[in-house]
Structure 1
Amino acid sequence: MSEVHHQAESDYKARDCVGETVKIGAGSALAGVVYSTVSNAYQTHQFDRASVFTRTGTSVKYFGIVGVTYSATYCMMNNLRHKQDHWNSGAAGAAAGATLGLLSRSFPIMFGAAAAIGATMWVFDYTGSSVRGPFGDATYEEREKIRRSHLAN
């Protein structure tokens, strides 16, 4: 089953790391602005439009830096290894987790977040980037055939 998750080297296409990193970094920083706005709305203080960036603005920085780290690491792993597989996601998740830990200035959090996020991203990509698995879109008949083939062995 694992051969489904590996891409042949002939299918490899080089990625534009700078373009992808800028795009993902801007998107994750925008997600940080949305998170900062929502968390700012639930706080009790004098209303000010700049408070999205002054009071809760660190979340914009955290979201942006972690997004940039993940996308840059993923793209560099893809281009260096000439493969697009689950190991790229694992390494990128570990780098993003380590960055998150470094931003909190704690080595135990850095190592724990690197291990947790790296393992989570590795498993997610290994299982076909789907919570439902590689057979999630299969019809009832196809799933029954797969189930019977496993029971016969």
Structure 2
Amino acid sequence: MPTDTMADHTPNQDQVESIYQPKDAVGSAIKATSVTAAAGAFISTIQNTLTRQNVGAMGAFTRFGGTTATFGRRGERGPSDGKMLEGRRRGRRTQANGTTAAMGGAYEFTKNASANLRQKDDAYNPALGGLMSGAMLGLRFRSAPAVVGYGCMVAVVLGAFSYTGGKLEGYHRDPTVDEVARKEFLRKNRRRPIEGTLEELGEGRGIYGPGYVERRAERIKNAYGIDVPSSA
């Protein structure tokens, strides 16, 4: 009786594979923030190189920096309107670069945290991550419609992308399946008898049935009276 009870509670292979494995949301967010911050720093360096003014090498950080924060500095008030306008432009550039890092971290953390809370790994998690990532992008405009609009747009795009397979290059073979076994299965699954092929296409053009050499020699002898030696 105890043996039967233990056997009933033993999970099968399908149940083991369907068990959700928790993800490290904080670690993934830190990695994503680091990667996107590096990308923002690279973009800042390019912007600093292409600027018309001679701002020096540190301009990538002082003028186009802010790659690890969501907001940059606001417009700097100067004695003239031109300086205040220039300060606002600098603030917008800094916000644009800083938002890049915030978007990556918000996306990864929200996606993995949602998967851990829901105990499911489906298309809703990238959609929720895209919602927060798009909201980070909309924050630089300091407008609620921009936050909602960008969040919904990124959520729809990432959710649809994940729902349709999450790949741009097409079908990927299962790495757990042996390639030789897969090809043998395809050959067995699609192989057809040689008799059916000969009946539809006939012999020749690389398609030869058993005893083809003997039949060919007999046809030549009957038609032309020439004996053709056969290897058989």
TM-score, reference length from structure 1: 0.77
* Separation in 2, partners of 1:11, 1:39: 47
Q: Which residue of 1 aligns with 2:145?
A: 108
Match of 1:72 among 96, 109, 113: 109
TM-score, reference length from structure 2: 0.52
Task: Check whether the contact 2:134–2:154 (CA below 8 A) recurs between aligned residues.
Answer: yes
Corresponding position: 1:33 with 2:33: no
* Separation in 1, partners of 2:36, 2:169: 25
Q: Which runs of 4+ in 1 moved over 4 A?
A: none
Structure 2: segments with no counterpart, 5+ residues: 1-15, 66-93, 174-185, 187-232
* Separation in 2, partners of 1:26, 1:113: 23
**Percent identity, aligned pairs only?**
32
Deviation of 1:119 after TM superposition, in Å, equals 0.2
Deviation of 1:131 after TM superposition, in Å, equals 3.0
Higher helix share: 1
Structure 1: segments with no counterpart, 5+ residues: 1-7, 143-153
Structure number with larger C-alpha Rg: 2
Deviation of 1:9 after TM superposition, in Å, equals 7.9
* Separation in 1, partners of 2:17, 2:151: 28
Q: Which secondary structure does the structure 2 equivalent of 1:111 belong to?
A: helix
Deviation of 1:99 after TM superposition, in Å, equals 1.7
Deviations 1:32-84 (A, max 9, x none): 10111112221111141111112222244211111111111011101001111
RMSD: 2.0
Task: Check whether the contact 1:69–1:95 (CA below 8 A) recurs between aligned residues.
Answer: yes
Match of 1:123 among 157, 160, 180: 160
Q: How many residues align?
A: 130
Report the AA paired with residue 89 of structure 1: P
Match of 2:127 among 84, 90, 110: 90
Q: Which has the higher contact order (CA 8 A, sep 6+)?
A: 1
Deviation of 1:16 after TM superposition, in Å, equals 1.1
* Alpha-carbon spacing, 1:47–1:103, altered in 2? closer, same or farther (3 Å): closer
